[in-house]
Structure 1
């Protein structure tokens, strides 16, 4: 029996700043059932407060503490290990990372979806630190995301380029990392095998959840592409979040 549900955000709850049909009602149904819930995301162009404002503005009745992000996981790790990171991140995250920006003598590289900051100067600065032995800490290794009706490059391709150039391996603290799912489960206080992950990304959401011992449901919205379900035959499949909640929760 399910004890809790994890929901991806973009592509599951909304697309292009509009809630997907039935998504607001599906989240409300989970809340009414008293189902422990976390909205989890690798989104690294905005902090949790901005995500919460966006969701509540769309009509989703969620509390800030129900949102669990990859940037939060990275912040916890950096602070716990006393690191001084060079932050190659999006301007939208600067408020959340304010106390870690421009520290002298950086000894780590933190990577998010930096968008227009993925230029030669910024990437080369990160490379110089990595080649000297600094660890690479990434908010995710997603290849792309969906926005404004099209697919766009995410942080993953740039992470891979830095790994290749510096001969290093990134510590990924977003989906599909088992550590990220473990953190979300710990936050909820539930077991992996009694938790369902619902997402649109067959690799980051579904394969990641299954590998971490969770149940998983792939929805045919967001970045879903025809045939994705063949990559995760153990996953449940639903047309959208509303159908997933009605059928499996």
Structure 2
């Protein structure tokens, strides 16, 4: 089926450590000039959407905050649906700011939900043990993402996934996962653009999270050979991309 819209990952696809992938800013300008509907779908929970947009724009892009979708957006929607306003937030201060701006109160005791993002060095034993106890006592267990790792400026870096898995193992409970590869991460972005999943391509550097997750949601999965891409990860995943591009700079190839 012809591709009519794009979902584009950020880290490893547009930039690595704040440095743009060669040709990436020009590729996004071409997408804009062609009038192709698109959204930037990131599992990043280290920064707020405002900070993500500012960093990309400093790197030579022209991307607005409302073009970016992160798991925090989905989390806030879920909390509203369930009437939850008191949470324990395991994430960076920047990510916490989006919750506080939405009226969510953080509490280390009596939290109705434990929400885990990428806390980096904040994942200490005491923090994880406290989260374990609260989840065990019945708090809603939400994972903003469960990526295994991501490509930072100084190399591959653990993401939130390994810590989410540890708490799942310890509590015997599965987290409610909101970021990619959850189908909602892709389908909600398609709905915002008013496009059908079958006519939408997801471009990412993670064979499981981006490509496999998109294909499971009926989107076209496109893998780029930048960021965390590796031939061994592709081979071991068992996922077959619909197309592989050298980088986002070759995006025109998706449209013949």
TM-score, normalising length: structure 2: 0.93
Determine the structure 2 residue equivalent to 1:100.
Answer: 104
Conserved? CA contact 2:18–2:56, under 8 Å = no
CA 1:114–1:171: 2 relative to 1, 3 Å:
same
Instruction: Measure how far apart 1:17 and its partner are.
Output: 1.1
Match of 1:240 among 247, 251, 255: 247
Matched, 1:27 2:32: no
8 A Cα contact 1:229 1:237, kept in partner? no
Counterpart of 2:56?
55
CA deviations over 1:155-214 (Å, ceiling 9, x no partner): 000000000101100110000001111111111111100000000000110000000000
Alpha-carbon distance change, 116 to 101 in structure 1, aligned in 2, over 3 angstroms: farther
Q: Secondary structure at the match of 1:28?
A: helix
Distance 1:164 1:70 in 2: 22
The offset of 1:15, in angstroms, is 1.1
1:228–1:238 distance in 2 versus 1, CA, 3 Å: farther
Aligned residues of 2:6 and 2:36 also touching (Cα < 8 A): yes
For the Cα contact (< 8 Å) 1:138–1:172, is it kept in 2? Answer: yes
Whether 2:130 is the aligned partner of 1:128: answer no
* Secondary structure at the counterpart of residue 27 of structure 2: helix
What TM-score results when the alignment is normalised by the length of structure 1? 0.96
8 A Cα contact 2:211 2:241, kept in partner: no
CA distance in 2, matches of 1:185, 1:94: 26
Q: Is the 8 A contact 1:109 1:130 kept in 2?
A: yes
Q: How many residues align?
A: 248
Alpha-carbon distance between aligned partners in 1 of 2:40 and 2:241, rounded to the nearest angstrom: 22
Question: Are the equivalent residues in 1 in contact too, given 2:223–2:241 (CA < 8 A)?
Answer: no
Residue of 133, 143, 148 corresponding to 1:143? 148
**CA drift at 1:115:** 1.1
Q: Distance in 1 between matches of 2:14 and 2:87?
A: 32
CA distance in 2, matches of 1:239, 1:101: 44
RMSD (CA atoms): 1.3
Taking the aligned partners of 1:187 and 1:211, their CA distance within structure 2 comes to 19
| Residue in structure 2 matched with residue 173 of structure 1 by the alignment | 178
Structure 1 stretches lacking a partner, 5+ long: none
List 4+ stretches of structure 1 deviating above 4 A: none
Q: Does 1:202 align with 2:207?
A: yes
